[in-house]
Structures are given as structure tokens and as C-alpha cells.
Amino acid sequence: MKRRSFVKAFALAASLACIGAATQAVAQQKTVKVGILHSLSGTMAISETVLKDVALMAFEEINAKGGVMGMKIEPVVVDPASNWPLFAEKARQLLTQDKVAAVFGCWTSVSRKSVLPVFEELNGLLFYPVQYEGEEISRNVFYTGAAPNQQAIPAVEYLMSADGGGAKRWVLLGTDYVYPRTTNKILRAFLKSKGVTDADIMEEYTPFGHADYQTIIAKIKKFSSEGKKTAVVSTINGDANVPFYKELANQGIKAEDIPVVAFSVGEEELAGVDTKPLVGHLAAWNYFESVKSPANTDFINKWHVYTKNPKRVTNDPMEAAYIGFNMWVKAVEKAKTTDVNAVIDALPGIEAPNLTGGTSKMLPNHHITKPVLIGEVQADGQFDVVYKTTGLVAGDAWSDFLPGSRDLTADWTKPISCGNYNTKTKTCLGLKAMH
């Protein structure tokens, strides 16, 4: 009798254990890991930390609505610490150990170039939310920041116009890495197509974290004193922007004399600078916090509630990250799975609201449609929009101004399914020429 009771008890315990294991398995099935790969320390933390924060806010927002496909998002946050090789190491960790379904990350192009082979080798999915230099395409990357034709080219066109001051001489000033150098290569070609000579272009680079701009700004003043209206195109990145703008003010350079247009300075970077001497200098983006739209008002309010700080600003890469995440959610729902291949195939054609009041679309080249805005710095660190395209501009991976690129197009949908398809020869150039 005792033995029979023991057997029954053992069977009951085993059954409960199986039920518990099954319940745990179901619970595991109802979560999906998503990676955040942004520098939370080092020279790029000034710009990237906020992208980690907005990603977590977006995850919480979706989780509060029941998650994606009934699965709650479990964030996996890593800190590559502004160390480019460490980006690749952390990306490999996210894909092989943490088994994330997608990664939202990187700021600098050198960090993106570092992780790109890892995502392609392991068939991962990366959403990149920052403006970049183009001349790259990957089936595994979706570029929700601006391509050069959505930022750099329109900014220079504006400064050349009567409304922008009619600049004739150009200072191309950047941090010494791939994004500024490639962007400036494209801008040189564009300027030459407009009749600007090499003698009217000055090009200078400084390392990451550079702090002493006294000599360079003195050179800019001398360059601008030679009789033609001069403008500065700044691709300085990270915390080096703070000493650059401080020295600009120290040497009395005002926007009406030598306007500076920046591609990597937004509200977050200006939060650490006395902006009063910088009033009138420019930034080219696809979003500014000052834009008046119901979608932007709602986003800013949610951001202030999430951060518990009504003084926290928003910026363009935050919007690009937010759009990218919402597109990923829609693609998962369309594909009915988080499988990377299925989601990649589902993303082209997906639409999501942007914060300026329009709707952005993911294109077959893995770029999105965006408005182009140019803003003037105000004394309060915000931007007054002085120019905006009438419609949305489609991001172009390959520049029309570089001889080796102007015949290329990217289309990851069938039947082309190629990142660098030559429209003249009707052939795909293959992986080796793509990045």
C-alpha cells in the first residue's frame, strides 16, 4: 500500500514537473530578445547613450501593448565603449550567445564597418539609425538615417543659394574616419559639377576626441578672407563638437560671416554648449525637436515621461531609431515570425509614421524616405527650420556624383535581389564590391 502511494506520488510529481517545464517553455516562447549596440562610454557616449534610451522606451511601449506577435521584447544592452573592434566582438556576442532577433545600433561609420562582416557571416539583422556616407549596401543592414542625397547634398545646395547666403568657397572639416572622408569626396565631386575649383575648397580632419581647434579656426578665418563668401561643412563627430563650437565663439566667427552647417550636431550635442554665440549657424537633418506636428508632440511627451525629465531633448537619430524599430515590428507581424530571412524579405514596402507629420517607407535598397530639413541654431539650443523639402526624399545608397557609382542601384527584392546592380550592363557586381 505504501509502495502504491509512493508510485502515485512520484507520478504526480513527475507530471507536475513536466507541466512546469512546459509552462516555462511557453513563457520562453513569449519573449524575444532584441539587441542594443551603442557606446555608453568613451568619446561617442555624448551622442549614442540617448539612442539606447529611446530604444528601451520603444520596447516598453510595444510591451505595454502586448508585445510583437504576442511576445514581450527582452532588451539585451551592451556597451562597445567607442572602441571599434569591440563593436564587432559585442555584435558577435549578441548574435551567437544572446540569440537576438534584431540589433539596433552603431553611430559612426567605422563602428558599422566593424560589425558589418559579423552580421553578414552570421546572417544577423542590423538597423542603423544615423546619417552616413553611402557607397555601401548589405542585405543584412537597414539604413534609417540619411544618405548623402538626404542631407549633405541638400545642405550644400542651400548654402549655395541666395537664401543660404550664396557661398562660393568651402571648408570641409571633419573627424578623421570613413564617414567624413567619403562624404567630402562626394561633396567635392558635387561642388566641381557646379563649377567650384579645388582652390576654393579647403579640407581638414582631426582625430576623435580632438580638443584644440584654435589653429584650424584661424586657418578658416584666413581662407575666408580672400574675397569670396565662405561656408564650413562640418562632419565633426562626438564630443569634439564641444571644443569646436567653443573656439568658434572665442574667435568671434558669426553665422552671417562664415556659416557652419553640421551633419552630426543636434539638440543633444548642443545641450553641452553655450549656444548664444552660435545663433544662426546651421544643421541639416531630417527631424528637429522644434517641428510642430501632433506626432512629434506625442513623442516628446512620451520621452519626458519615460526619462522623468522634462528638459531632456530629442533629436534626429532618435527619430530614425524609433522609425526603424516600428518598421521591424510591422515586418515581424507581416512575416508572422522573427526569423531573420523572413523579416528581411518583409521589410521593403513597410511604412511607419515619421515625426514631422508624414509617413516613411522602407525601400527595396534598405533605405527609407525622409524629408530634408535645415535648421538655424537658436539661443535656447533648439533649431528654427529655415528650409524643408516639399515631399519625402528617397535614400540613395550610391552617389550620382561618383563615376564608379552613378550607374549602380540597389534592389534586394526579386528578380534583381542585388545591392550593386549595374543599370547599364544589367549585371550584379557581387558581394566584393559592396562595402
pLDDT digits (tens, 9 = 90+) for 9-29: 444 444 444 444 433 444 444
Instruction: Decide if 240 contacts 175 (C-beta within 8 A).
Output: yes
Q: At what angle do helices 178-193 and 152-160 cross, to 10 degrees?
A: 40
Distance CA 206, CA 220 (A): 14
Question: How much is the pLDDT for 227?
Answer: 83
Distance CA 231, CA 384 (A): 19
Distance CA 323, CA 334 (A): 16
Distance CA 404, CA 187 (A): 15
Query: Percent of the chain beyond pLDDT 90?
Result: 87
Query: How many Cα atoms sit within 13 Å of 96 on the Cβ side?
Result: 11
Other CB atoms within 10 Å distance of the CB of residue 398? 23
Other CB atoms within 10 Å distance of the CB of residue 31? 13
pLDDT digits (tens, 9 = 90+) for 329-351: 999 999 999 999 999 999 999 99
pLDDT digits (tens, 9 = 90+) for 415-426: 999 999 999 999
What distance lies between CA 202 and its chain's CA centroid? 27
Distance CA 299, CA 314 (A): 9
Instruction: Decide if 227 contacts 175 (C-beta within 8 A).
Output: no
> What is the pLDDT averaged over residues 239-247?
92
> What is the pLDDT averaged over residues 172-192?
97
Q: How confident is the model at residue 2 (pLDDT cuts 50, 70, 90)?
A: very low
